[in-house]
Amino acid sequence: MAEESGDKPVDEFDGQVLKVRNLLIEFLNKVADYQDARKQYDFGMSRLKALTAFKEDKEYTMTELSRNAYMSMPTMTDMVDSLVEEGIAERRRDEQDRRVVKVTLTEKGKKMRKVFMERRRKEVEDIFGRLSLSDRKELLDAMERACTILKKIHAS
């Protein structure tokens, strides 16, 4: 990859990408650190990720769940199998098209998801509550710009 005039050297860019990655990992680990809730339910991170793929109280296809969780279909299927075995989720055939399988959370699953999501919201509030309103706005704007640029890179 050739450097264009006025651009930062590739090594410097690579270093910044690593810094951002490490900060995001640290941040996400803090936000996703549901230790209290995980201990209460004896729940692993992979099943937690599957649980959070349910965005609303509705039925989902496996394709929708795998897209929500940014996972491959086989991985999501394994995780849903685990949730079904534990009575956290249930599958049923679509009445209009019997080939389609829908997945929904049971009452137990809804309760668990609520506990995890409340904990995550509190962590996010604690973290971003330390920032001034202008810093929060600046960070959100920067994240939005970064997402736009990264989508362009991903699409090419």
- 39: its two tokens: 């201990």
pLDDT one-digit tens code per residue, 117-140: 888 888 888 888 899 999 999 999
Which of 1-5, 6-10, 27-31 is predicted with the least confidence, judged by mean pLDDT?
Answer: 1-5
Name the residue type at position 133: L
**Which sign does the torsion angle of CA 80, 82, 87, 88 carry?**
negative
Residue range 58-100, pLDDT digits in tens? 999 999 999 998 889 999 999 999 999 989 999 999 888 888 8
Token readout for 62 is 């496996």
**Domains of the chain by range and CATH?**
10-155 (1.10.10.10)
**pTM, whole model, 2 decimals?**
0.67
Length of the chain equals 156
- Given a contact cutoff of 8 angstroms between Cβ atoms, the answer to whether 51 and 88 are in contact is yes
Q: What is the pLDDT at residue 6?
A: 54
User: Residues 16-51, buried b or exposed e (16+ Cβ, 10 A)?
Assistant: eeeeeeeeeeeeeeebbebeebbeebebeeebbbbb
Q: Is the pLDDT of residue 3 over 80?
A: no
What secondary structure letter does DSSP report for 57?
S
Q: Report residue 56 CA to chain centroid gap.
A: 14
- Tell me what the mean pLDDT of segment 37-56 comes to: 72
